[in-house]
């Protein structure tokens, strides 16, 4: 009993105020909107993107806004090495009942289950609490999209709301740096963001070799725990080779046929490996835009890493390709508000296409529009695609417009990254 209380006590704030760090306000607003709803709130996202800290911030927010005692929150971290593996689902209910017996909370309790995918068949336990309409609200986190999309998820169908947590966007990055859009060193901050990405721990680290070491650790852990072990990959060296190739060619168009030739890995294995990496939130996979699903499937995809810092650290690159890095930042920003993002190759190449309830928007990304040839190429492709796809909006996102070209489609790329 004492050992169980000690296990729970080190992760909870029953007798002390939590250290919330820099609050990620957008996620707290989303969580607050779902706070009084009976549905189970599921936070997913790549490992180390800040899900656990956001749960802590939620506890403090709810305590202050709704005057809920800290004793009414139970936080369980299933990555704690003190849990014997495999973790059985019955341990969830056992820990909840133990907590209720020991602390005797009055009123509704809030149970926060961190990295819940470590628990076998966890959905059945939460379903039982939900169906019995017990006075308990669940928030769960996990580092795999299978948390809400595998076969067991049918048990919780219609009973969950999902929030995807990503590494810091550029606005959050500036918050962590105590800076804003008017900061005189904004260009240097953007360079740092492109180089090292937006993982909170990396952003707060000032020593550059330490940033690199942390990114290496994150990358290896994601591959090992969330891909190789999670999906029982036997040909792990082939997967590592493919992952490194994708990190080295972040944002490139990749087909399984060409990758098979380049890496000597079978096409079925490549397709499976890429699906595993997507499931672990390591990469985004953008399909070719077409109203025909068959054409989407049979055309190559564009693959972007979830974080430019990971890609730069794990990839084989002698120097940063600023254009591709900016493109990657735009991709990750678009996924904040879109479930799917596409690219267009025919009739002309467009970097990003979004389709929101039938509304088509186009985005091209370029470092500068100062060069006449570059400007003509980018705008012509938008013109052709706008006509062909009947797009509502087209944007040319650029970092530099020193010639002050006047075109309503030109949008400052930093303004785009900071919007919303």
pLDDT tens for each residue of 33-49: 999 999 999 999 999 99
CA–CA–CA angle 376, 377, 382 (5° rounding): 95
Q: From CA 287, how far away is CA 179, in angstroms rounded? A: 36
Confidence category of residue 410, pLDDT binned at 50, 70, 90: very high
pLDDT at 152: 45
Token pair belonging to 273:
């490996």
Domain boundaries, the chain: 2-164, 169-285+302-320, 337-420
Region 194-212 average pLDDT: 97
Confidence category of residue 396, pLDDT binned at 50, 70, 90: very high
CATH code of the region 2-164: 3.40.50.300
CB atoms within 10 A of CB 320: 13
* Per-residue pLDDT at 293 exceeds 70: yes
Using a pLDDT cut of 90, give the percent of the chain over it: 79
pLDDT at 5: 81
pLDDT at 278: 95
* Per-residue pLDDT at 81 exceeds 80: yes
Q: Which residues pair with 354 in a beta bridge?
A: 361
Region 299-309 average pLDDT: 95
Q: From CA 39, how far away is CA 33, in angstroms rounded? A: 12
Region 396-401 average pLDDT: 96
pLDDT tens for each residue of 376-391: 999 999 999 999 999 9
* Per-residue pLDDT at 151 exceeds 60: no
What is the average pLDDT value for the chain, to the nearest integer?
92
Q: From CA 329, how far away is CA 210, in angstroms rounded? A: 23
Instruction: Give long-range contacts, CB 8 A cutoff, 24+ apart: 318-321.
Output: 320/194, 320/195
Lowest mean pLDDT among 21-30, 113-122, 154-163: 154-163
| Structural contact between residues 351 and 330, judged by C-beta atoms closer than 8 angstroms | yes
pLDDT tens for each residue of 5-19: 888 888 899 988 888
pLDDT at 297: 86
The overall pTM is greater than 0.85: yes
Using a pLDDT cut of 70, give the percent of the chain over it: 96
pLDDT at 99: 95
* Per-residue pLDDT at 265 exceeds 90: yes
pLDDT at 3: 80
Closest CA to 254 of 222, 285, 219, 209: 285
């Amino acid at each position: 009993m004492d050992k169980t209380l000690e296990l729970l006590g080190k992760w909870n704030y029953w007798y002390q105020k939590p250290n919330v760090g820099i609050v990620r306000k957008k996620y707290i607003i989303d969580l607050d909107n779902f706070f009084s709803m009976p549905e189970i709130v599921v936070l997913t996202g790549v490992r180390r993107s800040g899900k656990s800290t956001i749960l802590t911030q939620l506890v403090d927010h709810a305590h202050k806004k709704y005057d809920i005692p800290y004793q009414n929150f139970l936080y369980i971290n299933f990555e704690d090495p003190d849990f014997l593996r495999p973790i059985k689902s019955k341990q969830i209910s056992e820990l909840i009942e133990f907590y209720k017996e020991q602390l005797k909370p009055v009123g509704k309790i809030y149970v926060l289950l961190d990295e819940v995918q470590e628990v076998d068949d966890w959905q059945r336990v939460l379903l039982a609490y939900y169906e019995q309409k017990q006075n308990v609200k669940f928030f769960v986190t996990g580092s795999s999209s299978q948390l809400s999309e595998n076969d067991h998820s049918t048990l919780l169908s219609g009973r969950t709301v999902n929030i995807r947590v990503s590494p810091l966007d550029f606005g959050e990055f500036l918050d962590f740096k105590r800076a804003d859009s008017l900061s005189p060193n904004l260009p240097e901050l953007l360079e740092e963001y492109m180089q090292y990405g937006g993982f909170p721990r990396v952003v707060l680290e000032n020593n550059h070799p330490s940033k690199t070491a942390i990114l290496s650790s994150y990358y290896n852990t994601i591959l090992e725990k969330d891909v190789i072990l999670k999906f029982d990959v036997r040909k792990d060296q082939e997967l590592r080779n493919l992952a490194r190739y994708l990190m080295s060619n972040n944002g490139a168009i990749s087909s399984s046929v060409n990758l098979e030739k380049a890496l000597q890995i079978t096409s079925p294995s490549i397709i499976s490996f890429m699906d595993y990496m997507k499931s672990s939130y390591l990469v985004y996979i953008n399909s070719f835009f077409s109203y025909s699903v068959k054409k989407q499937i049979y055309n190559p995809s564009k693959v972007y890493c979830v974080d430019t810092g990971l890609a730069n650290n794990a990839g084989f690159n002698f120097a940063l390709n600023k254009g591709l890095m900016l493109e990657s930042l735009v991709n990750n920003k678009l996924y904040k508000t879109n479930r799917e993002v596409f690219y267009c190759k025919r009739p002309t190449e467009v970097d990003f296409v979004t389709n929101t309830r039938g509304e088509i928007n186009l985005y091209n990304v370029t470092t500068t529009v100062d060069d006449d040839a570059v400007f003509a190429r980018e705008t012509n492709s938008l013109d052709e695609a706008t006509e062909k796809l009947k797009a509502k909006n087209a944007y040319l996102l650029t970092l530099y417009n020193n010639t002050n070209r006047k075109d309503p489609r030109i949008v400052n790329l930093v303004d785009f990254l900071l919007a919303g």
